[in-house]
Every structure is written in C-alpha cells, then in structure tokens.
Amino acid sequence: MTQLTTGKIGALAAEGIRDLLTRSLGGEPIARYTEERLLDWEALREGGWDEIGVPEEAGGAGATLRDLAEVAMTWGEFCVPLPLVVTLAAKRWSGPAREHPGPVTVSVPVPGAGPMVPYGNEAGIRVLSGRDGFLDAARGAEDPFPLTLRPVALEVTTNFDSVAAREFAVLWAAEGVGAAKRCLRDAVEYAKERRQFGVPIGSFQAIKHRCAHMLELAERAETAVLWAASDDFREGAEPVSTRRLALHALATARAVAESAIQVHGGMGFTWEMGVHVYLRHVVALRELVQGLLPE
C-alpha cells in the first residue's frame, strides 16, 4: 500500500509557506488580517508559490496532489483571505491559467445560492470558463460579510472535468482541515493559560475530554483528505468517493471549530478571538465542495 505521508516537494513547500506567513503576519490575530491586508498577492507571485502545482510536463516541479494537500492544510491554518489554493488548482489544470500572471479562480454552483466565485473581487483575478479559457461575464454583488473567501455572484459556472473537480475538492477540504488543526492548537493553548478557581481550565476533566475528542476528530479529517489525495484504496474494497471523503473531512473540521469555541468559553464568541473566522471558512468550503461534486 502506498504511504500517505507527503513527498519532499510537499514538505518543503508547506514549510516555506508557513515561514512566509509567520513572517508576514507577525503573530497578528486573525481578526485583524481578515480586515487589513498584511500580505499581498505579489509576495506570493514573486516567490513562485502560485505555480508549485504546475505539472512537470508543462514546465512545473511535478508536485503531486498529495504535495499540494500539505500546502493547502498549512495555508488553512492561517486562513489568509487570498486565493492561493484555488489558484494552485487552476494553474495545475489549465494552460491559460498558467499564462495569466495574476490569481485565477472558478465559478461554482453553490446549493441555494447559485454560481459563486471565491475571491471574485481580488485585483487582477480571472475566472476560468473551463480548461481552455476564461469567463468574461460581469460579476454581481459581493458577500456582505467578507472575511475569508469573499465570494461574488456570477450568472455562469466553470465547466469542470472529473479530474479538476476532484482536485479542487481535495484541496478545499485540505484547507478546511488546516483550519481545524489551528483551532485545536489554539484551544489547547488557551486551556493551558486560562485559569479558573486558581488552576488552568485544562486541568478540568470536561475540558480534557473535549480537547482529546477534538484531536481525534482532527486526525480523522486529515486522514480523509490524505486518502482522497492519494488514490490509495484497499485492494478489493469498494472505492470511497472523493465527495464522501471531502465532505466527511469538512464536516469533521466544522465539529472541531465548534468545540474550540466552547473551550474558549464566552471569549470564543468574541470578534477578537477570531475562532468564528475559521468556522465560517470551513462552512463556506463545504458549500463549495457540495456544489462542485453534487450527488
């Protein structure tokens, strides 16, 4: 059986992205950098981060989907409102996307909302019509609560083939898992520092059990993403669909984010703590995957 561990390209790229985000954001809380731009697209472009998914036959480094999933998880831990993950997937799939110097996105039919374009108002962004071109349709109203994906409405959708649909879904699920892992880490740190009755709240059995369950959920979500990214199914077993794996990962990631809010207590509901940003992001990603891979 193929190992689910990441390759060298994925590990190095994820480490580089983490270093870039750590330096650029300077430890600022997520509530600030979702409202103020602390990192520009040009910094990603100049570093070549938007092209790491380009296939080897098209002049790229030959990163696998599993490698890109590692990058997407790292990006999701920071939840920066820039279209890196969708651009990685687009430039992996489309020749015109690779030729475009700016970010690239897609239009996805979101259930109950119609076609939506993640990061649709990002400067210089183009919307793919399919593998071979771009849409020129006018974009509609922007999401009135613009935190992470910042979607806008569009009248038409991107024409995905099965390979592209799978890869976009896997990378969006991986991004959501990264957000869940960050929620878990922040909740554990908060439980160690927050004191009540003279002791850290992490010493209370109820908090210990909740954090342990969050760890289990986060690992289940990550395993689902790695499985979906690897094409590694047990011989003789019925293959599990990408849709099932991606949606399971995102539903489980949502449960982690919701538990993180509970560990933070009343502070978990405040804008300043920013846990709600991760929760909203995971929910939005799940809606995109549901629209991209309908039953």
**Does 109 share its domain with 199?**
no
**Does 178 share its domain with 270?**
yes
Residue 222 neighbours by CB under 8 Å, 6+ apart = 73, 177, 181, 249
pLDDT tens digits, 170-217: 999 999 999 999 999 999 999 998 888 888 888 888 999 999 999 999
**Does 144 share its domain with 190?**
no
Number of domains in the chain: 2
The answer to whether residue 256 is domain-embedded is yes
The answer to whether residue 106 is domain-embedded is yes
Residue finishing a domain among 125, 153, 181: 153
Token pair listed for 142: 């922007």
Q: Is the pLDDT of residue 6 over 90?
A: no
Q: Quick one: which H or E segment has residue 109?
A: strand 108-110
Give the residue numbers spanning the domain of 61. Answer: 8-153
Residues 113-141 as b/e (b if ≥16 CB within 10 A, e otherwise) read eebbbbbbebeebbbbbbbeebbeeebee
**Does 16 share its domain with 105?**
yes
The answer to whether residue 1 is domain-embedded is no
pLDDT tens digits, 264-288: 998 888 888 889 999 999 999 999 9
pLDDT of residue 195: 84
pLDDT of residue 2: 38
**Does 112 share its domain with 189?**
no
